[in-house]
Structure 1
Amino acid sequence: MNGPSPEEKHPMEGFPQVCFIKNTIDNPNIIVGDYTYYDDPEDSEAFERNVLYHFPFVGDKLIIGKFCAIARGVKFIMNGANHKMSGISTYPFQIFGKGWEKVMPEMTALPYKGDTVVGNDVWIGYDALIMPGVRIGDGAIVSSRSVVVSDVPAYTIVGGNPARPIRSRFPPEVVERLVAIAWWAWPIEKITEHLEVIVSADVEQLKAIP
């Protein structure tokens, strides 16, 4: 056996609070890799409700890699939440119409941070908040109730509001090696065969796998 099928909504029999996200999303601008799961005892299939202000006309994407663990209450703020900040008032008069539409800003006048990208093998803790355009590197850990306002390097643990690096999980040269190995891109048969090494701390043994 090579683990659960990535096409299953609920890979743990009798435990519906865990759900493989990619099998529950309808929004084409949310892209999620195999085996990435959301854990929520209330409704694990409703991950999309946690992606906020994600309007189609803005066009930004939320991209999440493979083998990520996303805890209950994690939320992603997308670019549609942004208000024009270059004028005196940030109030969005134009959305109410009735004469106020005359100050409709050009899309280029609104702050735009780009796509939000989460790498592979990332663990995001309970109630964390990810702001627009943030990039979280492979192997990173986001502590519970963190507010992530800037990019998170690969294999770095961050926490707080705003989230700041707590420590790197490995020395820089090891991080570089792990990102290059990219075990999450291996065929699932190879991953299954070498699980003991993947969950160990032996980077040299992982590197030696052909």
Structure 2
Amino acid sequence: MHGPQPTSKHPMEGFPQVSFIKNYCSNPNVIIGDYTYYDDPNGPERFFENILYHFDFIGDKLIIGKYCAIARKTTFIMNGGSHGLGAFSTYPFFIFGSGWEEGVPEKHLFPDVQDTVIGNDVWLGYNATIMPGVHLGHGCVVGAQSVVTKDFSPYSIVAGNPAKLIRPRFQNDVVDALLQISWWNWSPEKVTRNLKAIVGCDLDALVNAQ
């Protein structure tokens, strides 16, 4: 055997609160990698309920890599929740119509629309909030109840509101090597053969992995 099937909705026998969330996704603007799981006793549907202000007409995407661990109540605020700050009022008059249609601010007064991108092997802690357009590098860890308002480089540990860098997980040379190896792109068979090196921090073995 080479680990659970990525197509399994509940990969842990007798523990249905853990779901490989890709298998529940029907929104083309939400892209989730294999083996990424969401842990919530109230069911996998809660994951999608917590992607807020994600409107088709805006076109932004939520992209989450492989092998991510996403805790209960993790929330993604998408670009539809952003109000322009450059006009005299942030109130969205135009969305109500009824004579207010002309109250659309100039495009340059709106925030830029950017995809939200979560790298591979990222851990998002309980009740974390990810704001629009944030990019989290591979291997990042986000502390419980943090609010992530900006990008963080790979293998950063971040926490707080707003989230700040607590420390990098590894030295720069190790991070560079891990990014070069990109084990998350290996076949399941190769990952299985090299699990001890992955969890045991055996960088030399990963570099020479077969």
TM-score (norm 2): 0.96
Instruction: Detail structure 1 runs of 4+ shifted over 6 Å in the superposition.
Output: none
Residues 1:138 and 2:141 are matched in the alignment: no
SS state of the match for residue 191, structure 2? helix
Aligned partner of 2:50 in structure 1 is 50
- 2: CA distance, partners of 1:75 / 1:112: 20
Aligned partner of 1:33 in structure 2 is 33
- 2: CA distance, partners of 1:33 / 1:202: 25
Residues 1:196 and 2:196 are matched in the alignment: yes
Aligned partner of 2:124 in structure 1 is 124
Map 1:1-210 → 2, pairs under 5 A: 1-105=1-105, 107=107, 109-210=109-210
C-alpha distance after superposition, 1:86-118 (max 9, x if no partner) = 111101111111111121235554212400000
Percent identity, aligned pairs only, is 58
**Partners of 2:47 and 2:74 within 8 A in 1:** no
SS state of the match for residue 157, structure 2? strand
Distance change in 2, residues 1:131/1:199 (3 Å): same
C-alpha distance after superposition, 1:132-184 (max 9, x if no partner) = 11100011100001110111110110000110110111101110110110001
- 2: CA distance, partners of 1:5 / 1:209: 22
Deviation of 1:82 after TM superposition, in Å, equals 1.0
Q: RMSD of aligned C-alpha atoms?
A: 1.2
Q: How many residues align?
A: 210
**Partners of 2:47 and 2:73 within 8 A in 1:** no
- Which structure 1 segments of 5+ residues have no match? none
- 1: CA distance, partners of 2:13 / 2:132: 35
- 1: CA distance, partners of 2:172 / 2:117: 21
C-alpha distance after superposition, 1:23-62 (max 9, x if no partner) = 0111100000000000001122432111110000100000
**Partners of 1:24 and 1:46 within 8 A in 2:** no
Counterpart of 1:33, as a letter, is G
**Partners of 1:146 and 1:161 within 8 A in 2:** yes
Further displaced range: 71-80 or 83-92:
83-92
